């Protein structure tokens, strides 16, 4: 799906790629694999938006994505009435950089002691994998390994990603992650965090392979947008809200 201009009938201004599936997607390779079996779109229950691109360099910085997503969502709901959920599978392009700052103790709100407390229940596993007594040192050491199998446990990466998405700001007070800022401002729900979802060289370099599902609920989009814009509140799925309340809310 895309937006076109009459002066450029063969080239979209912006386009989005959508996969129709029967479940929430948590692995980008399964969506783009040309050898994967083709499912019957009439049986699909989930629309997964997995790539949104401005096609023209001169239009970068002009946001058509909000309008395109909402229009495509409306059209899909009419064309495929069995669809029950509309989600993205989105990158975290600044997660690796933000996590490095966190682990290096560069964030005043998150000193080393708070991170150690956050990961206290994972310390034995981290120590066994890395040989480091400190959770912070263990995560740092494991992320430095070239092989993905040697990286920190999925639970550790998911928890650190949740901290990053909900708590971390850039130098101007906005969200550190631009993709999160885009979807949350559009009224999406932070639905699920997926470690090991993008094991491409770029995915590992930018986000240690972590990707995110944002869910668009047509009945809640406007209310979620208002909460985020006016209160700075990130609306979480029930599962992520439980994780946040258990591991992060007491320290926030």
User: What pLDDT does residue 13 have?
Assistant: 53
Cβ–Cβ < 8 Å for 165, 190? yes
Task: Grade residue 251 by pLDDT with cuts at 50, 70 and 90.
Answer: low
Best-predicted range by mean pLDDT (34-48, 56-70, 181-195) = 181-195
Task: Report pLDDT digits (tens) over 171-230.
Answer: 767 789 999 998 999 899 999 999 999 999 999 999 999 999 999 998 999 999 999 999
Task: Grade residue 3 by pLDDT with cuts at 50, 70 and 90.
Answer: very low
pTM score of the predicted model: 0.87
Pick from 88, 120, 143: which residue ends a domain? Answer: 88
Q: Is residue 116 domain-shared with residue 35, that is, in the same domain?
A: no
Asked whether residue 237 is assigned to any structural domain, the reply reads: yes
Number of domains in the chain: 2
CA–CA separation, 36 and 180 (whole Å): 29
* DSSP-derived secondary structure for 104-170: TT--TTS-HHHHHHHTGGGHHHHHHHH--SSHHHHHHHHHT-SSGGGSPPHHHHHHHHHHHHHH-B-
Decide the pairing of beta strands 2-3 and 14-21: antiparallel
CA–CA separation, 198 and 91 (whole Å): 8
Q: Is residue 216 domain-shared with residue 135, that is, in the same domain?
A: yes
Query: Among 85-89, 91-95, 168-172, 209-213, whose mean pLDDT is lowest?
Result: 168-172
Q: Which residues are catalytic?
A: 90, 183
User: What pLDDT does residue 54 have?
Assistant: 55
3-state secondary structure of 214: strand
Q: Is residue 47 domain-shared with residue 65, that is, in the same domain?
A: yes
What CATH number should be reported for the domain holding residue 228? 3.40.630.150
Asked whether residue 109 is assigned to any structural domain, the reply reads: yes
Q: Is residue 33 domain-shared with residue 53, that is, in the same domain?
A: yes
Whether residue 63 is predicted with pLDDT greater than 70 in this model: the reply is no
Q: Is residue 36 domain-shared with residue 156, that is, in the same domain?
A: no
Q: Which domain holds residue 183?
A: 95-247
Q: Is residue 157 domain-shared with residue 58, that is, in the same domain?
A: no
User: Looking at per-residue confidence, does 73 or 226 come out higher?
Assistant: 226
Task: Grade residue 96 by pLDDT with cuts at 50, 70 and 90.
Answer: very high
Task: Report pLDDT digits (tens) over 119-174.
Answer: 999 999 999 999 999 999 999 999 998 887 789 999 999 999 999 999 998 876 77
Q: Is residue 184 domain-shared with residue 239, that is, in the same domain?
A: yes
């Amino acid at each position: 799906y895309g937006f076109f201009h009459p002066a450029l009938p063969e080239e979209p201004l912006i386009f989005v790629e959508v996969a129709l599936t029967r479940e929430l997607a948590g692995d980008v390779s399964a969506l783009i694999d040309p050898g994967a079996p083709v499912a019957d779109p009439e049986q699909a229950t989930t629309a997964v938006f997995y790539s949104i691109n401005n096609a023209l360099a001169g239009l970068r910085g002009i946001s058509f994505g909000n309008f395109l997503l909402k229009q495509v969502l409306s059209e899909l709901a009419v064309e495929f009435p069995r669809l029950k959920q509309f989600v993205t599978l989105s990158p975290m392009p600044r997660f690796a950089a933000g996590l490095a700052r966190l682990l290096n103790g560069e964030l005043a709100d998150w000193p080393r002691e708070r991170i150690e407390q956050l990961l206290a229940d994972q310390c034995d596993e981290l120590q066994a994998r890395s040989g480091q007594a400190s959770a912070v040192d263990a995560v740092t050491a494991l992320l430095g390994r070239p092989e993905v199998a040697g990286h920190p446990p999925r639970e550790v990466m998911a928890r650190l990603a949740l901290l990053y998405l909900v708590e971390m700001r850039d130098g101007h007070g906005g969200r550190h992650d631009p993709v999160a800022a885009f979807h949350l401002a559009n009224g999406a729900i932070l639905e699920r965090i997926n470690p090991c979802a993008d094991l491409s060289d770029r995915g590992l370099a930018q986000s240690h392979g972590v990707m995110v599902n944002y869910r668009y609920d047509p009945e809640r989009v406007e209310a979620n947008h208002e909460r985020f814009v006016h209160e700075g509140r990130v609306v979480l799925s029930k599962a992520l809200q439980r994780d946040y309340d258990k591991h992060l809310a007491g320290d926030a």
